[in-house]
Structure 1
Amino acid sequence: MTDNSRNTTRLIKKYPNRRLYDTHTSSHLTLADIRQLVVDKIPFEVVDAKTGEDLTRSILLQVILEAESGGEPIFSSEMLMGIIQFYGPYQSVLGSYLDKSIQTVIDIQSQTGAQSSEAWSKFMHQQAPVMQDLMRQYVDQSKDLYLNTQNLFGLFGGMPPGKPGAGSGPKKNGDGE
């Protein structure tokens, strides 16, 4: 085998006894080990040992559940309820938004040169008021953009002022055609 273990996807098999087996290292793994693979950015795939079904998402959700159970959780009950409410017609919108938001935070982290999650955590706590305000502004702008787009297509029953494509701003009274 080559030393390019970071470039190849590691195959992890999940057995009926709920044990995870890393075929690359020939050893059993825990959810903490799976979390470390994610932190180390080592690509992997978890499959059912019997059926070959892809279980990666399910295992990642278990890692999140375990992380949420200990320490300070990321997700409040209200946030989790909001996520659950989005399943259905707006599911892809929320998924795309969360993907882009998390990628933005990862990009910021890499640009600041934070070498560890502890350094990042300290930075965020020191900058909490500033970062919270920036994130609030980002969320407000995203919400406004989303609602304006929905109104443009008439999804909420209202149309934006003026005719679509007839100018860049709202029409003043008496400007109608």
Structure 2
Amino acid sequence: MTTTENSTNPSASKQRVIKKYPNRRLYDTDTSSYITLAEVRQLVIEREPVVVRDAKSGEDLTRSILLQIILEEEAGGAPMFSEAMLANIIRFYGHAMQGYMGSYIEKNVQMFTDFQNKISEQSGVGGTDAWAKMMQMPNPMMPAGYTEQMQKMQEQMQKQTEQMMSMFGLKR
């Protein structure tokens, strides 16, 4: 990373820079060692600010690497996205509302994340396995109203999505 980049973007100095070489290897400049895609995934899970740059050109490849991680996770046996959902997302590319769809998904995921954090705080279950531990608890141990709140949130998101899609003539 150059001095110019640091001076124009104060948060850039806090990012962990990973260089991608033509042989597809990833080099962590923080630890001065090669790392795997799984290790980049772990950095993301740990909320480590990461930027991936082409070692030769300096081009930002972060999105590409994050998409590659998602692709590997989806192929790993417990996919998060159904084929119908992926098809609907593809239909929005090139559509006038493409930018809106991206921000819509981002806001809903952030709302869900905020909700998870609030439940974790209220339940007193901490750590990276908080949700796994919580989901194993018997229902009486769940925070008051958790199931109802989760169901309402899911219904609200589904209703908003269906309304938005119907505006553009798209159906489930």
What TM-score results when the alignment is normalised by the length of structure 2?
A: 0.72
The correspondence for 1:71, drawn from 73, 77, 84, is 77
Mapped to 1, the partners of 2:155 and 2:34 lie a distance apart of: 43
**Matched residue, 1:61:** 67
Mapped to 2, the partners of 1:143 and 1:81 lie a distance apart of: 15
The answer to whether the Cα contact below 8 Å between 2:53 and 2:62 also exists between their aligned partners in 1 is yes
**Structure with the larger helix share:** 2
Letter in 2 for 1:140: K
* Structure 1 stretch displaced more, 135-144 or 82-91: 135-144
Mapped to 2, the partners of 1:90 and 1:12 lie a distance apart of: 33
- The equivalences for 1:11-160 within 5 A come to 11-88=17-94, 89-113=96-120, 114-116=125-127, 118-121=129-132, 123=134, 130=148, 131-141=150-160, 143-144=162-163, 146=164
Aligned CA distance change for structure 1 residues 122 and 94 (closer, same or farther; 3 Å): farther
Mapped to 2, the partners of 1:104 and 1:72 lie a distance apart of: 23
Offset from partner CA, 1:115-159 (integer Å, 9 cap, x none): 345431464686897434531223314654x58xx7xxxx99xxx
Q: Point out where structure 2 has 5 or more consecutive residues left out of the alignment.
A: 1-12
Mapped to 2, the partners of 1:40 and 1:93 lie a distance apart of: 28
Mapped to 1, the partners of 2:43 and 2:33 lie a distance apart of: 14
Aligned CA distance change for structure 1 residues 79 and 17 (closer, same or farther; 3 Å): same
Mapped to 1, the partners of 2:17 and 2:104 lie a distance apart of: 30
CA RMSD for the aligned pairs? 2.7
The answer to whether the Cα contact below 8 Å between 2:108 and 2:157 also exists between their aligned partners in 1 is no
Letter in 2 for 1:100: K
Q: Point out where structure 1 has 5 or more consecutive residues left out of the alignment.
A: 1-6, 157-177
| The structure with more radius of gyration | 1
Identity of aligned residues (%): 50
What TM-score results when the alignment is normalised by the length of structure 1?
A: 0.70
Mapped to 1, the partners of 2:103 and 2:118 lie a distance apart of: 22
The answer to whether the Cα contact below 8 Å between 2:21 and 2:56 also exists between their aligned partners in 1 is yes
**How far off is 1:33 after superposition?**
0.5
Letter in 1 for 2:17: L
